């Protein structure tokens, strides 16, 4: 069982929170529902095993931004910017005191491996990949007098890319800290904690993993949603309930479809090829506005 590791394992939510969205040109509404039997997960920057200098540098930025509220400001700003660029908002957000450009140096390069379909953590703006993760690593590079090179790769290859890179390299892609990845890379301090949701049509919404019995479920390959759905269908998904007890739930999911990007999963959801998507909450809300 690939369990999600968090700084403190918390009880999952009792009440599902529902968010509705209308898709462009269609009389359909979609919802992202907090599932009562899915775990909270923590995001970190993936770092080469044993690279204590890089971990220290990343942790310095992450811990500072989390403590002084800058991280939340970046989350809000890039969420609004992604919505604006998708046409979901009429006015571009103001960056205020947030840095959106950095003075890179010539003392070396940090390769940043990411997957650009995960707004607000990373997304395309014209020809550039921007977002929370890119801001973190841009700040790290500036403080070290270095520059960054962002490489857009398949999500499930990121730990391997970091591990096999010959120079300074990190994985910054809303990566959940879990046992499988910890075997390949080290992680920075946690910079964001997320909950998983089930995305579906409003008229056929699901507030529990157990509700997915007999359904066709979409996930992004290699994500927590993929691991959880796979475990649930095979030996059982383990989670901690509100009483702090570990529970195992086995769900006879009819079919699990794995996608390289969430946008492809959502296209199949809209076309009726799958019944639901299991994914992270904030990117789910942003995705529905982006794809609309």
- Measuring CA to CA, which residue among 174, 161, 65, 73 is closest to residue 119? 174
According to the CATH classification, is domain 43-192 in 3.40.190? yes
Q: What whole-number distance in Å separates Cα of residue 122 and Cα of residue 153?
A: 12
- Residue 18: per-residue pLDDT: 41
CB 260 within 8 A of CB 154: yes
- Residue 15: per-residue pLDDT: 33
**Listed range (73-87, 221-235, 236-250) with the worst mean pLDDT:** 236-250
Q: What whole-number distance in Å separates Cα of residue 130 and Cα of residue 128?
A: 6
Whether 18-40+202-291 and 43-192 share one fold: the answer is yes
Q: For residue 21, give both structure tokens.
A: 């969205």
CB 62 within 8 A of CB 42: no
pLDDT tens-place string over residues 105-152: 999 999 999 999 899 999 999 999 999 999 999 999 999 999 999 999
Q: What whole-number distance in Å separates Cα of residue 238 and Cα of residue 251?
A: 11
The CATH H-level (homologous superfamily) assignment of domain 18-40+202-291 is Periplasmic binding protein-like II (3.40.190.10)
Average pLDDT over residues 68-72: 97
Q: For residue 269, give both structure tokens.
A: 């959801």
Most confident range, picked from 15-19, 35-39, 174-178: 174-178
pTM recorded for the entire structure: 0.77
CB 38 within 8 A of CB 195: yes
pLDDT tens-place string over residues 179-219: 889 999 999 999 998 889 999 999 999 999 999 999 999 99
- Measuring CA to CA, which residue among 186, 191, 142, 179 is closest to residue 162? 186
- Residue 88: per-residue pLDDT: 80
For the chain, the structural domain boundaries read: 18-40+202-291, 43-192
């Amino acid at each position: 069982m690939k369990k999600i590791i968090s700084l403190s394992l918390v009880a999952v939510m009792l009440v599902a929170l529902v968010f509705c969205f209308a898709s462009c040109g269609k009389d359909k509404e979609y919802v992202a529902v907090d599932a009562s039997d899915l775990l909270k997960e923590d995001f970190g920057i993936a770092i080469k095993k044993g690279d204590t200098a890089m971990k220290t540098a990343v942790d310095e930025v992450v811990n500072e931004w989390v403590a002084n509220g800058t991280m939340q400001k970046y989350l809000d700003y890039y969420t609004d910017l992604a919505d604006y660029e998708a046409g979901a908002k009429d006015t571009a957000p103001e960056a205020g005191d947030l840095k959106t450009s950095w003075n890179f140096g010539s003392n070396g390069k940090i390769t940043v491996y990411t997957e650009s379909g995960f707004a607000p953590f990373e997304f395309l703006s014209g020809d550039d990949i921007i977002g929370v993760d890119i801001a973190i690593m841009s700040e790290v590079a500036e403080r070290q007098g270095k520059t960054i090179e962002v490489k857009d790769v398949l999500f499930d290859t990121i730990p391997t890319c970091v591990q096999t890179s010959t120079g300074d390299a990190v994985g910054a892609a809303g990566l959940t800290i879990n046992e499988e990845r910890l075997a390949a890379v080290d992680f920075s301090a946690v910079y964001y904690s997320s909950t998983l949701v089930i995305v579906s049509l409003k008229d056929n919404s699901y507030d529990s993993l157990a509700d997915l019995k007999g359904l066709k479920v979409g996930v992004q390959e290699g994500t927590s949603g993929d691991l959880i759905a796979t475990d649930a269908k095979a030996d059982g998904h383990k989670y901690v309930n509100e009483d702090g007890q570990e529970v195992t739930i086995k769900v006879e999911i009819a079919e699990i479809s794995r996608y390289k990007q969430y946008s492809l999963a959502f296209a199949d959801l809209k076309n009726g090829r799958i019944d639901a998507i299991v994914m992270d909450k904030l990117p789910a809300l942003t995705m529905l506005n982006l794809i609309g």
